[in-house]
Structure 1
Amino acid sequence: MAILTKPVLRMRILAARRTVTSQQKRAESAALQTHLTAHLSSRARPGDTVCGYVPVGAEPGSVAMLDALTHAGVRVLLPVARNGEPMQWGEYVPGRLVAAPFGLREPAPPWREPEAISTATVVLVPALAVDRRGARLGRGAGFYDRALPLADPHAQLIAVVRDDELVDEVPVEPHDVPMTHALTPERGVVALPSRE
């Protein structure tokens, strides 16, 4: 069977996400939070940094997941994306997100330089799909393609997806940075093949 192109795969996954009910989204978000908290409890220490994101629409994840990380004493950095600029990072403070371009919510300034991602031991990466080799399909804007090469080579790069978005294969391009793990509501944290 021929592999779908990135634009076709994106279109199909986004269409499927539009059918997710709010009840299903809440249940999946709670499961993701439980799995992530259990995964990090033996790995992250108070004061460690985790890069997260604020989900949009039916995107997997939740602000409650970010709150749980800060409650555990982890410093959470969130992306600040602007067209034509490298992604910066802002420290998450519960209850203090502001409206941002692209329908996002982000921390208010001051923001940290793009290299701040290198301080994270874990980077939670929004994804439309991730395959069992670690190839990630994003939305196509390239923000994470430019940010992930700046991450610590030993950091866990965790693609956060719905269960049916952990797939056998997605198209790969030379600039794509492979994920080390996937996080899904049913499977929890799944180790993927290591980066070469």
Structure 2
Amino acid sequence: MDTETIAARKRELRRELRARRAHRYAGEEGAALRAEQAQRILVHAEPLIAQVERAAGAAAAAGDGARPLVAAFHPTPTEADVLPLVRRLVRAGARLVFPAAAGTELDWILWDGRSPFADSPGRGFGREPAGRRLGPDALADATLVLAPAVAVDRSLTRIGHGAGYYDRALSTVPDRARVVAVVHPDELLPAGALPRGEHDVPIPEVLTADGLVSLVTSTSR
């Protein structure tokens, strides 16, 4: 599949997937379902929380003050809600950063775990904190990255919102870091369901309200 065909197919899939998401999670019933699923996401994320707690404990024991860095995102109203998990990760000892548009790259903003979020000027972005900006290379120190997606398939292919921000950001993440896409259960698709371009970064794990799934080993936890 050539580059133009891949791009056209991605646009078509985004329209379909976003429409399905909007239909299911709109209105009061949709919001209630999303809130219930957010609590299930939190339960299934226990291995991630435990990893961050261990890293925070090791940093404290070493006395270097380098708490583990976790990248998250503030979800739009129909995206999988990671905020209960984010708050739990703060209590686990993580430093949280959130994305902000900065030209063709993502900048990363520190969140203190308490301050409110403001609307982002970036189109398609969730809200962002008003903390210190760390620049586009901040994920080079990441322990865990929670990445948004429109969908992910079981051949490790992620389809995002179309601007390529996250693929560029994920290319800076160290091998030791854990990268997990967070989506709704029906947005984890069969292998080969999504077209992959040459710049698309493979996603090794997916977290949904139904579980934490390794796409490398094909196991759920």
The residue number in structure 2 matching 1:178 is: 202
In structure 2, C-alpha distance between the alignment counterparts of 1:98 and 1:57, rounded to whole Å: 14
Deviations 1:15-63 (A, max 9, x none): 1111220111101111112211x12243222221111000001101232
For residues 104 and 17 of structure 2, the distance between their equivalents in structure 1, rounded to whole angstroms, comes to 27
Please tell me the residue identity of whatever aligns with 1:191. S
- Shift in Å, 1:6: 0.8
Tell me if structure 1 keeps the 8 A contact 2:68–2:142: yes
| RMSD (Å), alpha carbons | 1.8
Alignment-derived partner of residue 84 in structure 2: 64
How far has the Cα of 1:67 moved from its partner? 1.0
Counterpart for residue 129 of structure 1: 151
Paired AA for residue 31 in structure 2 = S
Of 26, 31, 37, the residue aligned with 1:22 is 31
What is the aligned counterpart of 2:166 among 132, 141, 144? 144
2:111 corresponds to which letter in structure 1? Answer: Y
Kept in 1, the 8 Å contact 2:49–2:88? The answer is no
Structure 1 gaps, min length 5 = none
Q: Which residue of 2 aligns with 1:35?
A: 44
1:12 partner SS: helix
Partner residue, 2:214 = 191
Shift of 1:78: 0.9
SS of the equivalent of 2:51 reads: coil
Residues 75-86 of structure 1 correspond to what in structure 2 (within 5 A)?
A: 75-82=95-102, 84-86=103-105
Output one character per residue of 1:122-159: Cα deviation in whole Å (capped at 9) or x when no partner: 11110011011111010101110211111112211111
1:10 has 2:14 as partner: yes
* Normalised TM-score (structure 1): 0.90
Identify the range of structure 1 (41-50 vs 107-116) with the bigger mean alpha-carbon deviation.
41-50
Match of 2:140 among 112, 118, 123: 118
Give the structure with the higher percent helix. Answer: 2
User: Which blocks of at least 5 consecutive residues in structure 2 are unaligned?
Assistant: 1-5, 57-66
Structure 2: distance between partners of 1:70 and 1:32: 16
Contact 2:146 2:180 in 1 (8 A): yes
- Write the distance in 2 (CA, Å) between the matches of 1:41 and 1:53: 16
Q: Secondary structure at the match of 1:159?
A: strand
The size of the alignment, in residue pairs, is 189
The residue identity in structure 1 corresponding to 2:40 is A
The structure with more radius of gyration: 2
TM-superposition CA deviations, 1:82-131 (whole Å, max 9, x none): 3x332111111233222211353112142001111111111111001101
Residue 68 of structure 1 and its aligned partner are, at CA, apart by 1.0
Give the C-alpha shift of residue 80 in structure 1: 1.3
> SS of the residue aligned with 1:106?
coil
The CA distance in 2 between the partners of 1:126 and 1:31, in whole Å, is 17
